[in-house]
Structure 1
Amino acid sequence: MSVTFIRRAVASPKKALATAAVAAATTGMVLAAAPAQAATTSTGSSAQAIAHQMIPDAAQFNAFSKIVEHESGWNISATNASSGAYGLVQALPASKMASAGADWKTNPKTQIKWGLDYMNSRYGSPAAAWNFWQANGWY
């Protein structure tokens, strides 16, 4: 590639890509898209699937899900700017989740385990925690 082509690529990426594609086609080369990088964090739907596996009882899963939806929107890295609460279940301090696993910052399964243990020990169940949340706006 020439320096002129590189300068054009920086100035006009769409035009440069089209020019490269034409050049490649005329020389018999094939341009292929690079493979997408694997996601490093779980999406909300995969965190929900994990929770569903860990909480087979439908009523308890629904209650857990409602709390998580309100607290973090199923975002494993959700952080409350004012309090520092973190994760799916908004643990405060966040480091409390380390008792469920060293990977608590990035692993939805670890966060779910900690959240379930918390709800069960403090309220008796996710459903009871949800009842408290509805009455108080927090749990």
Structure 2
Amino acid sequence: MLEGNRVSRISVRGFAVASATAVTTVGAVVGVASGSEQGTAGTVEATAADSTILADIPTGQSVQAQTASLTQQADTQSAAAASDAKKAVEESARKQAAKDAQAKKDAADAKAKKDAEEKAKKEHEEKEKEASRSGEHDGLADLSAKSSYSISEIKAMAQQIVPGDQFQCFSNIVNNESTWNYKATNPSSGAYGLMQALPAGKMASAGADWQTNPATQIKWGLSYMNGKFGSPCGAWSYWQAHGNY
């Protein structure tokens, strides 16, 4: 049993601890001073080359026991530091892995979105192309039937139905065939309408109102030019060479 709170103070100089490798070096002990006869605390001093560490150790323990106690404390602290360092490294690795995974996911999502947009754009372009070839156009639904139409109204219809890069060629043919008169009739052959279809009744394939609706005639004419000549411009080239199409 220790008597009261009597302790000896040990001063160890050169007590160095390498935390990373958990290697502890303790300085050499150079002297021990014992307590006085009255039981006062004595001082044991161990000197070495570097730092100084002070610790209160119960009086009566041997220098070896005191040194072992300090070594154990240093080892415990070193182990705790190594554990903290390991946890920090693991946490940093975890965060980096999560960051990399998120970046990979974002890149995949961006690519999927881009691919979907390109696919939708391509499908839209194909539909527009097909509509142009068949003479169909979204604006056609807004062309209500009337008892009569002016040339400007008929041309406006054609501009809605015929692709922009083909309109001038289409217009050249219609202007030469009927001067944009949708009721024009050839008394000799019976050719009829804007494109002077012969026989006239074949325009019924585009609609039953082919005799009175310029839009139906334009739709039929575009389909005819695309089917026989590839496009209105192809039909116009043929017309220039032969005087008909």
TM-score by length of 2: 0.40
Q: How far off its partner does 1:56 sit?
A: 3.2
Aligned mates of 2:244, 2:230 — CA distance in 1? 16
Secondary structure of 2:244's aligned partner = coil
Question: Identity of counterpart residues, as a percentage?
Answer: 62
The one-letter code sitting in structure 2 at the alignment partner of 1:84 is G
Cross-structure match for 2:148? 41
Query: Is 1:104 aligned to 2:210, yes or no?
Result: yes
Query: Is 1:73 aligned to 2:179, yes or no?
Result: yes
The one-letter code sitting in structure 1 at the alignment partner of 2:232 is P
Report the structure, 1 or 2, having the larger strand content: 2
Aligned mates of 1:111, 1:67 — CA distance in 2? 13
Aligned mates of 1:71, 1:56 — CA distance in 2? 20
Alpha-carbon RMSD across the aligned residues, in angstroms, is 1.0
Which contiguous aligned blocks of 4+ residues in structure 1 show a shift greater than 6 angstroms? none
Q: How far off its partner does 1:102 sit?
A: 0.4
Unmatched tracts of structure 2, length 5 or more: 1-145
**Residues matched between the structures, number:** 100
Map Cα deviations across residues 23-55 of structure 1 (whole Å, 9 max, x no partner): xxxxxxxxxxxxxxxx72211111100000112
Cross-structure match for 1:122? 228
Q: 2:158 aligns with which of 26, 31, 51?
A: 51
Bigger RCO of structures 1 and 2 (CA < 8 A, at least 6 apart): 1
Highest Rg: 1 or 2?
2
Unmatched tracts of structure 1, length 5 or more: 1-38
Cross-structure match for 1:64? 170
